[in-house]
Amino acid sequence: VVQGFGREAGEALATSKRIAKIAFTGSTPVGSHILKCAAENIIPSTVELGGKSPNIYFEDIMQAEPAFIEKAAEGLVLAFFNQGEVCTCPSRALVQESIYPAFMEEVLKKVRAIKRGDPLDTETMVGAQASQQQYEKILSYLDIAPQEGAELLAGGSVEKLEGNLASGYYI
């Protein structure tokens, strides 16, 4: 497993003679670049690109059993797990206006219960961002969101933890 950003990490892997197989999950432009580099070295490659995973909620879900509504809300909250670094992570939610207040209250109950902290603690649900660059990128999105009409319902700021976790990139 190699962590890194874009072309730099991808190109280093895709041009290495030591690599026997590439499996990449990420953006379409980087995946395309990796495939081009890998083709030159005839390295077998598999890519999963550009997932956006929208979640769409219609009013009929609010007529279901409470356990179903809870699971639907949980599905949206999964966007935050693994710091959002999951290829099937929900990137947006479309909620029918007639159920928006009630459904979002269910979602917010789950959001408020999220525990940030040490990734080795089994009670932790969200750890730190992988790097300062990723951290700053997310903070920039939080600045842009209200300008584009987003309404902040929870969080949206730096999370300061204590002790050994104080230097982590928590949001």
- Amino acid code (one letter) for 82: N
Mean pLDDT of the chain: 88
Per the rule left: phi > 0, alpha: psi between -120 and 50, beta: everything else, 107 is: alpha
pLDDT number for residue 10: 74
The whole-angstrom separation of Cα 29 and Cα 50 is 9
Q: Which residues are catalytic?
A: 48
Residue 40: count other Cβ atoms within 10 Å of its Cβ.
9
pLDDT tens for each residue of 27-85: 888 889 889 999 998 999 999 887 677 889 999 999 999 999 999 999 899 888 777 77
Mean pLDDT (whole number) for 115-126: 90
pLDDT bracket for residue 87 (50, 70, 90)? low
> Around 34, how many Cα atoms within 13 Å sit in the side-chain half-sphere?
27
Closest alpha carbon to 162 in 151, 170, 150: 170
More confident residue, 19 or 91: 19
pLDDT value for 65 = 96
Asked whether 171 and 138 are in contact (CB, 8 A), the reply is: yes
- Alpha carbon 11 to its chain's center: 23
> Residue ranges of the domains in the chain?
6-49, 52-114, 118-171
Q: Which of 27, 69, 75, 74 is nearest to 55 (CA)?
A: 75
Tell me, what amino acid is at 74?
E
